[in-house]
Amino acid sequence: MAETEETRAEAQFEFITFSAGGQSFCLEITQIREIRRWTPVTALPHTPEDVLGVMNLRGAVIPIFDLSARFGLGKTESNERNVVIVAAVGSTTIGLLVESVSEILSVAKSAIQETPNIKSDVTRNSILGMISVGETMVRVVNLDAVLDTGMGIAV
Protein backbone atom coordinates (compact mmCIF):
# COMPACT_ATOMS: atom_id res chain seq x y z
CA MET A 1 0.00 0.00 0.00
CA ALA A 2 1.10 3.45 -0.80
CA GLU A 3 -0.20 5.25 2.22
CA THR A 4 3.08 5.50 4.11
CA GLU A 5 4.45 8.55 2.37
CA GLU A 6 5.77 11.39 4.42
CA THR A 7 6.48 14.71 2.86
CA ARG A 8 10.14 15.26 3.52
CA ALA A 9 11.75 18.57 4.06
CA GLU A 10 12.65 20.87 1.17
CA ALA A 11 10.73 19.98 -1.91
CA GLN A 12 11.63 16.32 -2.07
CA PHE A 13 9.06 14.45 -4.12
CA GLU A 14 8.32 10.77 -4.21
CA PHE A 15 7.10 9.07 -7.32
CA ILE A 16 6.04 5.55 -8.13
CA THR A 17 7.37 4.47 -11.46
CA PHE A 18 5.71 1.97 -13.75
CA SER A 19 5.83 0.91 -17.31
CA ALA A 20 3.05 1.16 -19.84
CA GLY A 21 3.31 0.51 -23.54
CA GLY A 22 7.03 -0.17 -23.14
CA GLN A 23 7.70 3.31 -21.80
CA SER A 24 8.48 4.39 -18.29
CA PHE A 25 6.01 6.65 -16.47
CA CYS A 26 5.52 7.84 -12.95
CA LEU A 27 2.95 9.41 -10.70
CA GLU A 28 3.47 11.36 -7.54
CA ILE A 29 2.87 9.08 -4.60
CA THR A 30 0.29 11.36 -2.99
CA GLN A 31 -2.04 10.91 -5.94
CA ILE A 32 -2.05 7.15 -5.64
CA ARG A 33 -4.60 5.54 -3.39
CA GLU A 34 -3.61 1.94 -3.84
CA ILE A 35 -2.27 -0.62 -6.26
CA ARG A 36 -4.34 -3.69 -7.01
CA ARG A 37 -3.92 -6.85 -8.98
CA TRP A 38 -5.78 -6.87 -12.24
CA THR A 39 -9.18 -8.49 -12.05
CA PRO A 40 -11.69 -8.64 -14.89
CA VAL A 41 -13.87 -5.54 -15.11
CA THR A 42 -17.37 -4.84 -16.36
CA ALA A 43 -17.16 -3.41 -19.85
CA LEU A 44 -19.03 -0.23 -20.65
CA PRO A 45 -20.92 0.22 -23.89
CA HIS A 46 -20.18 3.14 -26.19
CA THR A 47 -16.77 3.81 -24.78
CA PRO A 48 -13.43 4.09 -26.55
CA GLU A 49 -11.00 1.21 -26.55
CA ASP A 50 -8.85 2.53 -23.76
CA VAL A 51 -11.75 2.57 -21.31
CA LEU A 52 -11.65 -1.01 -20.13
CA GLY A 53 -14.71 -0.80 -17.93
CA VAL A 54 -15.66 -0.28 -14.33
CA MET A 55 -14.47 -1.99 -11.20
CA ASN A 56 -15.88 -2.31 -7.69
CA LEU A 57 -13.55 -0.60 -5.26
CA ARG A 58 -15.10 -1.26 -1.85
CA GLY A 59 -18.53 -0.21 -3.01
CA ALA A 60 -17.52 2.62 -5.30
CA VAL A 61 -17.72 2.24 -9.05
CA ILE A 62 -14.48 3.40 -10.64
CA PRO A 63 -13.53 3.46 -14.30
CA ILE A 64 -10.40 1.63 -15.41
CA PHE A 65 -8.32 3.07 -18.25
CA ASP A 66 -5.66 1.29 -20.23
CA LEU A 67 -2.88 3.85 -19.89
CA SER A 68 -0.90 2.49 -22.80
CA ALA A 69 -3.86 2.61 -25.16
CA ARG A 70 -4.74 6.01 -23.81
CA PHE A 71 -1.38 7.36 -24.84
CA GLY A 72 -1.68 5.72 -28.21
CA LEU A 73 0.93 3.08 -27.43
CA GLY A 74 -1.29 0.11 -28.17
CA LYS A 75 -3.29 -2.11 -25.88
CA THR A 76 -1.65 -3.51 -22.78
CA GLU A 77 -0.87 -7.18 -23.28
CA SER A 78 -2.36 -9.41 -20.65
CA ASN A 79 0.42 -10.29 -18.26
CA GLU A 80 0.72 -11.67 -14.74
CA ARG A 81 2.49 -8.57 -13.53
CA ASN A 82 -0.27 -6.25 -14.73
CA VAL A 83 -1.60 -4.04 -12.00
CA VAL A 84 -4.22 -1.37 -11.60
CA ILE A 85 -3.05 1.87 -10.05
CA VAL A 86 -5.94 3.52 -8.25
CA ALA A 87 -5.43 7.26 -8.29
CA ALA A 88 -7.43 10.24 -7.14
CA VAL A 89 -7.88 13.37 -9.19
CA GLY A 90 -9.78 15.94 -7.25
CA SER A 91 -12.94 14.21 -6.12
CA THR A 92 -12.88 11.47 -8.73
CA THR A 93 -11.14 8.16 -8.38
CA ILE A 94 -9.91 6.26 -11.41
CA GLY A 95 -7.90 3.13 -12.08
CA LEU A 96 -5.05 2.86 -14.58
CA LEU A 97 -4.01 -0.48 -15.99
CA VAL A 98 -0.24 -0.61 -16.44
CA GLU A 99 2.19 -3.38 -17.36
CA SER A 100 4.07 -3.40 -14.11
CA VAL A 101 5.10 -1.23 -11.20
CA SER A 102 8.84 -0.73 -10.77
CA GLU A 103 10.01 1.32 -7.83
CA ILE A 104 9.67 4.35 -5.66
CA LEU A 105 11.66 7.32 -6.82
CA SER A 106 12.64 10.11 -4.49
CA VAL A 107 13.79 13.25 -6.26
CA ALA A 108 14.21 16.92 -5.57
CA LYS A 109 11.95 19.30 -7.36
CA SER A 110 14.85 20.59 -9.38
CA ALA A 111 15.39 17.15 -10.89
CA ILE A 112 12.04 17.36 -12.68
CA GLN A 113 12.53 18.82 -16.12
CA GLU A 114 9.92 20.49 -18.17
CA THR A 115 8.57 18.62 -21.11
CA PRO A 116 10.60 19.64 -24.14
CA ASN A 117 8.76 21.26 -26.96
CA ILE A 118 7.70 18.16 -28.80
CA LYS A 119 5.57 18.04 -31.87
CA SER A 120 2.24 16.89 -30.56
CA ASP A 121 0.34 19.22 -28.27
CA VAL A 122 -1.79 16.44 -26.90
CA THR A 123 1.19 14.34 -25.93
CA ARG A 124 2.85 17.32 -24.33
CA ASN A 125 -0.25 18.05 -22.28
CA SER A 126 -0.51 14.53 -21.03
CA ILE A 127 2.93 14.71 -19.48
CA LEU A 128 3.80 17.15 -16.74
CA GLY A 129 7.54 16.75 -16.88
CA MET A 130 10.42 14.31 -17.07
CA ILE A 131 12.86 12.86 -14.62
CA SER A 132 16.06 11.24 -15.70
CA VAL A 133 17.11 8.22 -13.72
CA GLY A 134 20.52 6.93 -14.76
CA GLU A 135 20.24 6.00 -18.38
CA THR A 136 16.45 6.08 -18.57
CA MET A 137 13.89 8.81 -18.64
CA VAL A 138 10.65 8.70 -16.62
CA ARG A 139 7.59 10.66 -17.70
CA VAL A 140 5.39 12.27 -15.09
CA VAL A 141 1.78 11.56 -16.03
CA ASN A 142 -0.68 14.44 -15.98
CA LEU A 143 -3.76 12.80 -14.51
CA ASP A 144 -5.97 15.78 -15.27
CA ALA A 145 -5.24 15.40 -18.95
CA VAL A 146 -5.97 11.69 -18.79
CA LEU A 147 -9.32 12.47 -17.28
CA ASP A 148 -10.22 15.43 -19.43
CA THR A 149 -9.80 13.78 -22.73
CA GLY A 150 -11.29 10.57 -21.50
CA MET A 151 -14.50 11.91 -20.10
CA GLY A 152 -15.64 14.04 -22.94
CA ILE A 153 -19.29 14.68 -22.45
CA ALA A 154 -21.36 11.90 -23.79
CA VAL A 155 -24.84 13.16 -24.39
Partner 1 sequence: MSGNSIRDTFFEECEELLEALVEGLSGMEEAPGDMEIVNAVFRAVHSIKGGAGAFGLDRLVGFAHTFETVMDKVRGQELAVDESLMGLFHRAGDFLSDLVTAARDESDVNDETEAGLIKELEAYLGPGGEETEFMFEALTLDMGDEAPQPTRRRFDIAFRPTRALYENGHEPLLLFDSLADLGDLSVTADLSALPDFNKFDPSDAVLSWRLSLVTAESETTLHEIFEFVEGLCTLDIDTTDEPAEAATAPLDLGPVMRPAPPDVDDMLAGDDAEDAMAESPDRGASDRPATSLPGSSKDARGPKPTLRVDLDRVDRLINTVGELIINQAMISQRIEELDLPTVAHLTNELEAYKLLARDIQEGVMAIRAQPVKPLFQRMSRIVREASDATGKKAKMVTVGDSTEVDKTVIERLADPLTHMIRNAVDHGLEKPDIRKAAGKDVTGTIRLSAAHRSGSVFIEVSDDGAGLNRERILQKAIEKQLVAADVELSEPEIDNLLFLPGFSTASQVSNLSGRGVGMDVVKNAVSALGGRVSISSTPGKGTTFTIVLPLTLAVMDGFVISVADQTMVIPIASILETIRPRAKDIHIVGTDSEVISLRGSYVPIVDVAENLGLGDGAERGNAGTLLLVSTETHGLTALRVSGIHDQRQVVIKSLESNYTAIPGVSAATILGDGKIALILDPEELIKLAHTPVHETASQQARMELRHG
Binding site for partner 1 (CB under 8 A): 41-48, 50-51, 53-56, 58-63, 70, 72, 91-94, 120-123, 126, 149-155
Query: Shortest approach of partner 1 to residue 45 CB, angstroms?
Result: 3
Residue ranges with strand state E in 1-155:
12-20, 23-28, 32-37, 51-57, 60-66, 83-89, 92-98, 100-108, 112-114, 127-133, 136-141
Smaller CB distance to partner 1: residue 52 or 131?
A: 52
4 versus 117: smaller Cβ distance to partner 1 = 117
Q: How many residues does the chain have?
A: 155
Query: Smaller CB distance to partner 1: residue 72 or 113?
Result: 72
Q: Sign of the CA dihedral 44, 39, 93, 123?
A: negative
Q: How far is the CB of 133 from partner 1 (least distance, A)?
A: 27
Quick one: which of 153, 154, 30, 41 has its CA closest to 97? 41
> Least distance (Å) from partner 1 to the CB of residue 35?
18
- Of 93 and 102, nearer to partner 1 (C-beta) is 93
- Which residue, 151, 123, 148, 141, is CA-closest to 31? 141
Residue 104 CB, shortest distance to partner 1, in Å, is 26
Shortest Å, Cβ 76 to partner 1: 15
Based on its alpha-carbon atoms, the radius of gyration of the chain, rounded to whole angstroms, reads: 15
Beta partners for residue 89, in sequence order: 92
User: Looking at beta carbons only, is 33 or 131 nearer to partner 1?
Assistant: 33
